[in-house]
């Protein structure tokens, strides 16, 4: 498959040395698409037909609403999508039919799952992420300065590791592919180990006798570890907890 190269966002992201460049890039793409679906172009008739048919997943409906912009537009696209969902499910008509038929109930369950899984934002993010993964592999292959930067990066999270490994299969061959995979796995493991060790320090600090110790990098260990495991970027939050107050 042919992918469009997008070298600038890749270079920019690697320059900031994140825990997972694909997490950062995915989050940016997500913000862009949420803005897009709250903008005027969503009123374009062709796009409107697609939105009516596909809609958004629970996370992205929440993301669209929580942006706090253009409630009128979001109301319009949600109303026509809801109308289409009702037509597809025709719950009222099925009420008598589904009862007593395992096959018909299974078909209804399938439709309900599909409605929740379909998402125009997830679809677009998926395509964008493939382009980014392709560009990373391509730059690693062609540009020695990027290859060097890559070897000093923190690898990727476990959520994004599969897309990078699959892309190496598509875009690299033989010894090059082996080298790319080895570097990627070693880096990822190195920083998973760091996250694990930092988390050990982090949890160790929750003992009474260490309550006054100052925090180092391990203060971020929990959010970094969760990101490394799931690909979710969490915000730093300070919990007020009298039994474990650390004065930060």
Residues 219 and 223: their CA atoms lie apart, in Å, by 9
Binding residue for Zn ion, selected from 157, 165, 167, 192, defined by CB under 5 A: 157
* 119 binds Zn ion, rule: CB under 5 A: yes
Of the candidate residues 14, 18, 20, 138, the single one contacting Zn ion (CB under 5 A): 20
Cβ at position 240, least distance to Zn ion in Å: 30
Is 38 a residue that touches Zn ion (CB under 5 A)?
A: no
- For position 161 contacting Zn ion by CB under 5 A, the verdict is no
Q: Does 22 bind Zn ion (CB under 5 A)?
A: yes
Q: How far is the CB of 101 from Zn ion (least distance, A)?
A: 32
x/- map, 67-96, Zn ion, by CB under 5 A: ------------------------------
- Using CB under 5 A as the binding rule, the residues of this chain from 211 to 240 that contact Zn ion are 231
Q: Are 164 and 22 in contact (CB under 8 A)?
A: yes
- Short-list 163, 92, 97, 159, CA closest to 133: 163
| Both tokens assigned to 120 | 């125009």
CB of 20 or CB of 171, closer to Zn ion: 20
Pair 143, 176: CB distance under 8 Å: no
CB 99 to Zn ion: min, Å: 33
Nearer to Zn ion, 57 or 172 (CB): 57
Nearer to Zn ion, 22 or 192 (CB): 22
Sites of contact with Zn ion (CB under 5 A): 20, 22-23, 57, 60, 119, 121-122, 157, 160, 231
């Amino acid at each position: 498959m042919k992918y469009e190269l997008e070298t600038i966002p890749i270079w920019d992201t690697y320059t900031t040395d994140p825990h997972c460049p694909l997490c950062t890039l995915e989050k940016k793409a997500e913000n862009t698409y949420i803005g897009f679906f709250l903008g005027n172009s969503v009123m374009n008739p062709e796009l409107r037909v697609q939105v009516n048919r596909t809609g958004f997943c629970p996370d992205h409906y929440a993301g669209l609403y929580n942006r706090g912009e253009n409630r009128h537009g979001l109301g319009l696209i949600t109303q026509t999508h809801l109308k289409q969902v009702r037509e597809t499910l025709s719950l009222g008509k099925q009420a008598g039919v589904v009862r007593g038929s395992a096959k018909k109930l299974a078909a209804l369950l399938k439709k309900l799952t599909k409605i929740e899984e379909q998402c125009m934002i997830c679809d677009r993010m998926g395509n964008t992420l493939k382009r980014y993964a392709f560009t990373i592999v391509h730059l690693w292959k062609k540009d020695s300065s990027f290859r060097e930067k890559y070897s000093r990066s923190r690898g990727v999270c476990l959520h994004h590791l599969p897309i990078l490994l699959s892309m190496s299969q598509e875009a690299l061959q033989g010894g090059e592919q082996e080298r790319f995979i080895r570097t990627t796995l070693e880096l990822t493991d190195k920083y998973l180990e760091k996250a694990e060790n930092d988390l050990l320090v982090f949890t160790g600090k929750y003992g009474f006798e260490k309550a006054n110790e100052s925090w180092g990098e391990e203060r971020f260990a929990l959010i970094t570890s969760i990101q490394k495991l799931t690909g979710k970027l969490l915000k730093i939050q300070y919990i007020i907890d009298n039994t474990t107050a650390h004065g930060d």
